[in-house]
Chains A and B, each alone.
Chain A
């Protein structure tokens, strides 16, 4: 009985952490889907989102929801700006050039942030610490409820946008075949920009939520979650939205189980073991079809 309780508890912890990975992984996978770029700067966008949320709460006196909205909008616009300046001029360049640029953008964001906010970690104010639901010895704390609630709302919203709206249809079309989408009258540059905006906004929300969950943020905080979210996106099948969500959740749960039952030392190792395993056994990911290369 006790074991079962512990497993369920770790599942809840894992799903909370996994939701964060899922939010970041969605941006990776959307951007990859449309311009085939592994955006190595995506984890840093998440860090910027966390800082904007931090300042909105501590300096601006905003509520959590207010801070989330401010961070989401500002970071989304920042993502669009970065795409415009760094990636758009490389539309016809070889993929490796764009990839190297992304690594450059990543360092640029990390070290300019250090200049402006100092490398010292900041302590996020304690929030929702005293709220908790518990039943049968299992606890869901307030921060976890916030993470699960916000993530669920964003998933529903994103699904609606992608499936039902005209822009969403254009995004799917451009991801599938950019050139043919252009032939339909779809401005693919605009769609790519919107994709960066949405992806960055989701990462920003993840950043603020992590700040609230773990209380501490710093300019290099995006590196590890960025890599983990990349693993999640690959696990689900890169370019596939539900894949990113499922991949993120699986990764979070595996990490929580490993830290809960073995040692948190092995947590990161488990994540990268998953990456290696996926690449060996099923490189197209859980949801991926064997991709036919476009001619």
Chain B
């Protein structure tokens, strides 16, 4: 572990090109995430943020370029194998299994694990973090409110005990108060040892909790740097923070 830490970034995406048929969605994107960081990827709708996360997760394969996780090239690896490498994604729109119970959703998050005791412990950890899920554990996930569904999607992703957590627009469609709560939880998840790559359109909130940030515009990284500095820069303020 310690050796892997020293040898370079946890995640290193190098110059990837990703296509949907003829649509060139990512054009030479490179980014890195170091262990322990919160890195955010911001950009307008359609910029390619989800495409980036889906490529890391293995749902898409880059045509060229590499995706290295803990030194291993995972580009083109099947999504269900990427989870076992230690990457978990909270997809855009939450994508919870609506016709299954909260508990079943969490169990599916732990699908790749066999250590019953460890799973039990993590379930308790998730319920501690999201007490509302405990109250609703036998309810069908589809009956939860939007905020609760987001919490379930996050809890489910944590159940695989990821080293790197990918979050795709967790604030989408939520009331401001809930967004604040969700972001506090993200910070807390990070403090307890999980590295986070956060995709957001809500640049303000994302920059406020991130260490570093990348700005994506129509498939290219146009800016990168320290999150606080980017939040203060004129370019970002104009384009993403409403002046």
Contacts and interface: CB of A to CB of B under 8 A. Distances in A.
Interface of A: 166, 169-170, 172-173, 176-177, 179-188, 295
A177 B80 CA distance: 14
B100 A172 contact: yes
A187 B107 CA distance: 16
A148 B156 CA distance: 41
A3 to B, nearest CB: 43
28 contacts: A166-B111, A169-B100, A169-B107, A169-B108, A170-B108, A172-B97, A172-B99, A176-B100, A177-B97, A179-B59, A179-B79, A179-B95, A182-B78, A182-B79, A182-B80, A183-B79, A183-B83, A183-B88, A183-B95, A184-B83, A184-B111, A185-B80, A185-B83, A185-B112, A186-B108, A186-B111, A187-B80, A188-B80
A172 B107 CA distance: 13
Contact of A183 (B89, B100, B104): B89
A284 to B, nearest CB: 14
A187 B80 CA distance: 6
- Considering residues A173, A176, A180, A181, which has the most beta carbons from chain B within 10 angstroms of its beta carbon? A180
A188 B79 CA distance: 10
Interface string B107-118: 111011000000
Nearest to A295: B93
A170 B111 contact: yes
Interface residues of B, number: 25
Interface string B83-94: 110001101010
Main secondary structure of the interface of A (DSSP, over half): helix
B149 interface: no
Interface in B49-72: 57-59
A173 B91 contact: no
B97 A185 contact: no
A169 B89 CA distance: 19
A176 B140 CA distance: 13
A241 to B, nearest CB: 12
B150 interface: no
Contacts of A170: 108, 111
Contacts of A166: 111
Contacts of A181: 108
A97 B112 CA distance: 33
B85 to A, nearest CB: 10
B125 to A, nearest CB: 18
A181 B88 CA distance: 12
Nearest to B153: A180
B78 to A, nearest CB: 7
B97 A176 contact: yes
B95 A185 contact: no
Contacts of B178: none
Given A180-B95, A180-B97, A185 B160 contact: yes
A151 B23 CA distance: 50
